[in-house]
């Protein structure tokens, strides 16, 4: 007997019936950059992305909800004059991020607001943890991250997302949130955040590049896969609600690997370098932007991701609903 798999591809109707994975706007998180403004400023390395002031952020949230996107992830742009070695601005209740959270939740209570928890946007050293005698001080950083998470929750954040890769930070944050009465605030842990070369445009957007050295002593080695399983097991045991893999497409194998080891939701982050490459190739006429973007996002779903962070979320959501 001749096997003919093509019979299941014979028409659009048949293909839809047997399709294994779906992509919808409900799977997308839109990462946005917020600053004190006034107005918006373009990000050269990320065409189509801007640093938004609070009024513009509210407009963006309205557009996102209309397109079917239910979640925004906020990243603060901190002026150099406000940065110091301790990252003190991270704990300012009147800083740009707390004000943005409060404004969003007041205007759109149904919106899921996700906040970044790490010191690099606030630190004059540009690292995710405190720098003491030239080294990243893991344990000394944990209380600051916990305070940041509580501050964000108090302002209305639904999900706090520690992106710092300090050991033990999920447990410290979970304990602090619970003790402060925020037991329902979720933790999206950047479980497998690799020391990747794909973050350049993001660091330009926030002016958050490390001022010395690199982040290889705390972010994961791109050569390692088994280590991601260990990180995931630790974060799950410490109380994480979601596990995030970053970057996305270069690490589809890690998403698939973790999918077999956990029942927790898995998030994938299509990072700035991935986004910029798609935009650049499309602008040069080398690829069909819509087709390639949606194919790349579907690949995350196929690998096992439940949630996808992408700077192209708004475009993708509109295309999906067209």
Give catalytic residue positions. Answer: 193, 246
State the Cα–Cα distance between residues 125 and 214, nearest whole angstrom.
Answer: 11
State the Cα–Cα distance between residues 208 and 47, nearest whole angstrom.
Answer: 19
Please name the residue that has the structure tokens 């995931």: 232
- The tokens of 303 are what? 């690998």
90 CB-side CA count, 13 A: 30
State the Cα–Cα distance between residues 306 and 35, nearest whole angstrom.
Answer: 29
Those residues whose C-beta lies under 8 Å from the C-beta of residue 203, and which sit 6 or more positions away, are 209
State the Cα–Cα distance between residues 297 and 72, nearest whole angstrom.
Answer: 17
Please name the residue that has the structure tokens 């295309």: 319
Closest by CA to 296, choosing from 318, 283, 313, 321, is: 313
What's 161's DSSP letter? Answer: E
Name the H helices within the chain: 12-18, 54-66, 96-107, 138-155, 169-179, 200-206, 226-238, 252-259, 272-283, 289-303, 313-321
* Count of helix runs (H) and strand runs (E) in the chain: 11, 12
Coil, helix or strand at residue 297: helix
Q: How is 85-123 classified by DSSP, letter by letter?
A: TT-GGGG-TTSHHHHHHHHHHHH-TTSEEEEEE-STTTB
């Amino acid at each position: 007997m001749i096997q003919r798999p093509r019979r299941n591809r014979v028409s659009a109707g048949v293909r839809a019936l047997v399709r294994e994975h779906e992509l919808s706007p409900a799977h997308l998180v839109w990462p946005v950059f917020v600053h004190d403004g006034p107005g918006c400023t373009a990000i050269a390395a990320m065409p189509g992305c801007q640093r938004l002031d609070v009024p513009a952020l509210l407009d963006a949230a309205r557009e996102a909800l209309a397109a079917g996107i239910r979640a925004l992830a906020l990243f603060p742009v901190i002026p150099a004059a406000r940065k110091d070695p301790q990252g003190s601005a991270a704990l300012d209740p009147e800083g740009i991020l707390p004000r943005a959270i409060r404004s969003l939740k007041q205007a759109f209570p149904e919106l899921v607001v996700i906040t970044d928890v790490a010191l690099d946007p606030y630190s004059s050293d540009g690292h995710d943890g405190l720098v003491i005698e030239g080294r990243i001080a893991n344990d000394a950083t944990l209380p600051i991250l916990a305070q940041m998470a509580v501050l964000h929750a108090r302002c209305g954040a639904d999900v706090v997302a520690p992106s710092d890769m300090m050991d033990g930070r999920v447990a410290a944050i979970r304990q602090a949130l619970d003790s402060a009465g925020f037991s329902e605030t979720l933790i999206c842990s950047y479980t497998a955040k690799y020391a990747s070369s794909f973050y350049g445009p993001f660091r330009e957007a926030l002016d958050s590049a490390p001022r010395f050295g690199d982040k290889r002593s705390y972010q994961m080695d791109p050569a390692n896969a088994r280590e991601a399983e260990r990180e995931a097991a630790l974060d799950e045991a410490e109380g994480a609600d979601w596990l995030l893999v970053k970057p996305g497409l270069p690490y589809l194998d890690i998403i698939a690997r973790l999918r077999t080891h956990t029942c927790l939701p898995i998030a994938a982050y299509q990072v700035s370098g991935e986004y910029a490459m798609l935009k650049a190739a499309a602008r040069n006429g080398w690829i069909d932007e819509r087709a390639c973007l949606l194919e790349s996002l579907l690949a995350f779903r196929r690998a096992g991701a439940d949630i996808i962070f992408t700077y192209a979320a708004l475009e993708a959501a509109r295309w999906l609903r067209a």
